[in-house]
Amino acid sequence: MSRTSWFGSIRRKGFWNCEINESTEMLRVDIITIFPGFFREVFDYGIIRRARAAKLVTVEAHDLRAWTSDKHHMVDDRPFGGGDGMVLKAEPIFAAVESLAGASRREDFPEGRRVVLLSPQGRTFNQSLATEFAACQQLVLICGRYEGVDERVAETLVTDEVSIGDYVLSGGEPAAIVVVDAAIRLLPGALGSETSATTESFSDGLLDYPHYTRPTDFGGLQVPEVLLTGHHAEIARWRREAALAKTKRNRPDLLKG
């Protein structure tokens, strides 16, 4: 049974804490990179570490060089037509995806398998795409270099080309970490409580409301009175209004859609 269909039924019936481990398939994440060492420790903390320990997900970084067939293990080459920089070669990337995902054309990947090229030319990553990725069985992430990746990878191999925002990184590696983090925390059982994933930023198109903890007076900076009253309806109203005000101030674009 696909994980997508399980989300709905588990949530509706309130089965949140049972059945998950036996019924939910694990998510497998494979990262293809020329810098596998980059990922040595990043998935060893917090929610991602817990999710891995609970067998909700496996994450592996693979060295693209392992799929080169020439004696110099060349992963890149000069661009046809001239210009600066080197271009990641198609051949090792196709071979890596073939061996990790069982096919090397986007039409041939089974349902539940997404092969993603991380590049500044991709469509912008967002919470909705994170949700789709979290519902997959396997996610193969190909880290591009900023100079470029042979376009045949985007044309025929991958199911998605994704960017994490309008700025240029020197490679797709930091973007892969962002994508993996956003997807893993949405796996059923990855967060401490069911509500934390649904009440926060973006799940309702607004930014999260402001949070405060002790002390109530921090060098003259006060916690809003209403939060100290225990008046649940008032507090909920204050939070809605504060979230809206903050969204207007920091992300007016979210209110125009």
234-257 burial by CB neighbour count: b if 16+ within 10 A, else e?
A: ebeebbeebbeebbeeeeeeeeee
Element housing 169 (H / E): none
Q: Is 176 exposed, middle or buried (0-12, 13-18, 19+ CB in 10 A)?
A: buried
Instruction: Tell me the β-bridge partners of 57.
Output: 27
Q: How far is the CB of 168 from ligand 6GU (least distance, A)?
A: 5
Residue 175 interacting with ligand 6GU (CB under 6 A) = yes
Q: Which stretch binds ligand 6GU (CB under 6 A): 32-40, 112-120, 222-230, 238-246?
A: 112-120
Judged by CB under 6 A, the residue of 172, 185, 207, 239 near ligand 6GU is: 172
Residue 153 interacting with ligand 6GU (CB under 6 A) = no
Residue 171 interacting with ligand 6GU (CB under 6 A) = yes
Prior bond of 210 cis (ω within 30°): no
Judged by CB under 6 A, the residue of 49, 66, 146, 216 near ligand 6GU is: 146
Q: How far is the CB of 148 from ligand 6GU (least distance, A)?
A: 10
What whole-number distance in Å separates Cα of residue 163 and Cα of residue 118? 6
Residue 163 interacting with ligand 6GU (CB under 6 A) = yes
Question: Site residues (CB under 6 A) for ligand 6GU?
Answer: 118-120, 144, 146, 163-165, 167-169, 171-172, 175
